[in-house]
Structure 1
Amino acid sequence: MTFLDYLISADARTTLMDRMMRKLGVDRQLKVVADHTAVTKRAVDRCRSCGHQDECSVWLDEHQQADNPPDYCRNSDLIARLRHAAGQR
């Protein structure tokens, strides 16, 4: 894998993370959480290290709304905490 391939892959995974946060309604909460820059960076890193990029993209395309992320999502705990902080179930 070339460095350019890595950057394209990393950018695609960052986009997937953004889509997942919006799909589950926690994107705004992520922006206001304490130390949001560091929290977001760690979430992006977890998403970038995931091996389910294609599966995640399909899942996002197929779900108009969702209560929970797919089981393989490495940001499931963060999403649950953000939902709790926002008063969502």
Structure 2
Amino acid sequence: MTFLDYLISIDARTALMGRMMRRLGVDRQLKVVADHAAVTNRAVDRCRSCGHQDECSTWLDEHQQADDPPDYCRNRDLIARLQHAAGQR
């Protein structure tokens, strides 16, 4: 893998995280949590280290609306906390 391939892979995974947060309606809540930058960075790191990029992309394409992320999502707990804070749960 070239360095450029690595950067593209990181960007694609970060984009998947953004799509997941928007799909589950917690993107705005993520922006207002205490220590927003650190929370977001940890979420991005979890997404970047996930081995389910293709499955995630397919899941997002197939689920126009969803209450929960797929079971393999490494940000599942964060999403649940954000949903609770937003009054979605």
TM-score by length of 1: 0.98
Q: Does 1:19 align with 2:19?
A: yes
Unaligned runs of 5+ in 2: none
Distance 1:72 1:6 in 2: 22
Q: CA deviation at 1:2?
A: 1.4
| Sequence identity percentage | 89
- Runs of 4+ aligned residues of structure 1 deviating over 2 Å after TM superposition are none
**CA RMSD, Structure 1 to Structure 2 (Å):** 0.5
Q: CA deviation at 1:8?
A: 0.2
Distance 2:54 2:68 in 1: 18
Distance 2:15 2:4 in 1: 17
AA matched with 2:69: P
Distance 2:63 2:79 in 1: 16
Unaligned runs of 5+ in 1: none
Distance 1:37 1:44 in 2: 10
Match of 2:46 in 1: 46
